[in-house]
Amino acid sequence: MYLRSPRAVTFRPFTAYFSTMATEAPWQAIAQRKQAERQSRIPPAWLLKTPPSTSTLDVRSVPRASGILTSNELHITENYDATSLAEAIRSRVHKAEEVAIAFCKRAAIAQQVCNCLTEIFFEDAIRRAKLLDKEYDSTGKTVGPLHGVPVSLKDTFDVAGYESSIGIASLVGKPAKKNALLVDILLEQGAVLYCKTNIPQTLMALDSDNNIFGRVLNPRNRLVTAGGSSGGEGALVAMRGSVLGIGTDVGGSIRIPAMCGGLYGIKPSAQRIPYVGQENGTRQGANKIGLSASAGPIAATLRDCELFLKTISDSRPWERDPSLAYGLWSEQSSIGSKPLLGVIRQDGVITPLPPVSKVLDETVQALRKSGLEVIEIDAPAFKKCQSLANKFFGIDGGNHIFDLLEATKEPLTAWLSTRLRRGTPISINRLVEIHAQKIELETEMLKIWKDPKTGRQIDAFICPVAPHPVPPIDRWNGVSYTSSFVLLDYPAGTLPVRDTTEQDLRGELSDSKPLGSWDKINRELWDEKTIDRRLYLNTKLSIQVVAPKLQERRLYQAMSVIDNILQTQSLGGRAKL
């Protein structure tokens, strides 16, 4: 569906998913029970008396106007990031219990306006926070660097006693028996876990919608996508219902929701953060023969991403997960005082729309104005990445996920129904062949990390997160700018730059022939015959920063340098705390 005006879209009640079939299939009753269970875990006193109308597009002010949070709880949820909140608890400005209650309340409100939660365990979180306070009072020592900090998790992470249904009916009613390793580490470092967040059916869509929990809405503008597959995390953090959200990324699933919410998000290399203990709709071990997914942070400040990465790296996770690489945070590669940065302006598959090119140009100009050297990177191999990544996405033919769906006669969502089919798993010979292609492409792409004129090492480069601004619901076009760095296993992060303005809505595309089908569809997101560009106004324009493989600290430092320069020159998009 094309949007001619923001008023052209109406929101369906989540229960509308259950009224379209004449004969009720098993999945429908499961979905109704699951939604009722989720609703029951929100205390009645935390329910909105007057939910915002569907015509209210920006709902970020609802918690403040609701009367549900006290003035102190509003202060806690609006004036701290995870880093400063951890310090406030350490210095006894706030108790872990009052912090937990504040964020549980705000997450409950976020759920009511954005549909961003799946599993709710507020009571467990408040009990744990009380125990942390008691421990601190009796010993004078915090449990770890995340002592008392509320952390939300994507639904894929196993938490003992709670389900990881990933929005699929046949996985409902099967609570995890043990925690994912990353969950254990977060608890050991003092975190308070209080909810899991909504995702797209099959985790294979870029808009977080499923038949069990419904669609996640973007709190900045409920007509544009919240992204996927960590869409619930992005929406919850954007609502300030979480200070630190943990997502996963195998095609852009951290960086895309971060862009949609105007947030920071980092996808590490696959060997950096524990990924074991996930439910992702594939057979056990599939992550090792296809493209390896990564777990990483989504946050309102960049330093919170560092807090997460440092905390996990310094917990020595490689001693418990043999697939991880050694790397204490302080021992990882770092950049010098005058880093060399590069810029890749397009990938050769989809040409960025004018606002995307404009904000990239502004960033390059700001960096050069500050005295940094930014060189143009010619990367002809970049255009090969997406087609090769696509070969990995379909290696099992999708059969496991279809088995899960068909067990309860659950249909694909509307968006997926035209894109996903059962297929034949590829042969061992074909799998070996595409891995050989991957090695060849990885080797070819190594050339981009050296300045061809001077031979100097490039510390990091910038490029678009996507070839378009944050688009309408179900209209994200392609992942070539994000999945390429999963294929190459480069750490990459989303960095918000500034709000979209009226001036950004001007400018026309060239009359040149589209590069291909993806490029043709992308142009439709700028064609005023098929879209009202004003839809982009209450969204953030972002860039992507990329570093060499397993150099997360270098990535963070490069992002920090860029962010500080943009802030100094009044371009940056840092959240107000």
* pLDDT tens per residue, range 389-407: 999 988 989 999 999 999 9
**Distance between CA atoms of 487 and 389, rounded to whole angstroms?**
6
- Closest residue by Cα to residue 253 from 150, 154, 130: 154
Residue 19 annotated in active site = no
pLDDT at res. 286: 82
- Closest residue by Cα to residue 246 from 178, 117, 154: 154
**Distance between CA atoms of 163 and 171, rounded to whole angstroms?**
8
**Residue 172 is labelled as binding a ligand:** no
**Residue 251 is labelled as binding a ligand:** yes
Residue 154 annotated in active site = yes
Q: Count other C-beta atoms under 10 Å from residue 7's C-beta.
A: 10
**Residue 387 is labelled as binding a ligand:** no
Which tokens sit at 73? 């709880």
Number of residues that this document lists for the chain: 577
CA distances in angstroms from 91 to 128, 129, 142, 193, 210, listed in the order given: 19, 16, 10, 21, 43
pLDDT at res. 468: 98
Residue 542 per-residue DSSP state: E
For 53-103, give the secondary structure using H, E and C.
Answer: CCCCCCCCCHHHHHCCCCHHHHHHHHCCCHHHHHHHHHCCCCCHHHHHHHH
Res. 503: pLDDT tops 80: yes
**Residue 53 is labelled as binding a ligand:** no
**Residue 149 is labelled as binding a ligand:** no
**Distance between CA atoms of 360 and 84, rounded to whole angstroms?**
30
pLDDT at res. 549: 98
When the pLDDT of each residue in the chain is averaged and rounded to a whole number, the result is 94
**Distance between CA atoms of 351 and 354, rounded to whole angstroms?**
9
Residue 44: CB partners within 8 Å, gap ≥ 6?
none
Domains and CATH numbers, the chain: 25-568 (3.90.1300.10)
Res. 21: pLDDT tops 70: no
**Residue 203 is labelled as binding a ligand:** yes
> Which one of the listed residues 164, 170, 208, 229 is annotated catalytic?
229
Helix/strand/coil for 401: helix
* Better-predicted residue by pLDDT, 153 or 3: 153
Res. 183: pLDDT tops 60: yes
Mean of pLDDT values over 27-32: 98
Mean of pLDDT values over 46-51: 97
* pLDDT confidence bin for 577, thresholds 50/70/90: low
Q: Of all residues in the chain, what percent carry a pLDDT higher than 90?
A: 91
Rg of the chain taking only CA atoms, in angstroms:
22
Judge contact between 101 and 130, C-beta under 8 A.
Answer: no
pLDDT at res. 15: 45
Residue 530 per-residue DSSP state: T
> Which one of the listed residues 95, 154, 358, 540 is annotated catalytic?
154
> Which one of the listed residues 164, 165, 242, 253 is annotated catalytic?
253
First to last CA, the chain: 37
**Distance between CA atoms of 359 and 364, rounded to whole angstroms?**
9
**Distance between CA atoms of 528 and 204, rounded to whole angstroms?**
29
The identity of residue 77, as a single letter, is: T
| The dihedral sign for the CA sequence 57, 59, 60, 61 | positive
Res. 13: pLDDT tops 50: no
Task: List pLDDT tens digits, range 326-372.
Answer: 999 999 999 988 899 999 999 999 999 999 999 999 999 999 999 99
Residue 510 annotated in active site = no
pLDDT at res. 572: 61
Mean of pLDDT values over 146-158: 98
Task: List pLDDT tens digits, range 95-150.
Answer: 999 999 999 999 999 999 999 999 999 999 999 999 999 999 999 999 999 999 99
Judge contact between 543 and 363, C-beta under 8 A.
Answer: yes
Residue 17 per-residue DSSP state: G
Mean of pLDDT values over 241-252: 98
**Distance between CA atoms of 4 and 534, rounded to whole angstroms?**
10
Helix/strand/coil for 153: strand
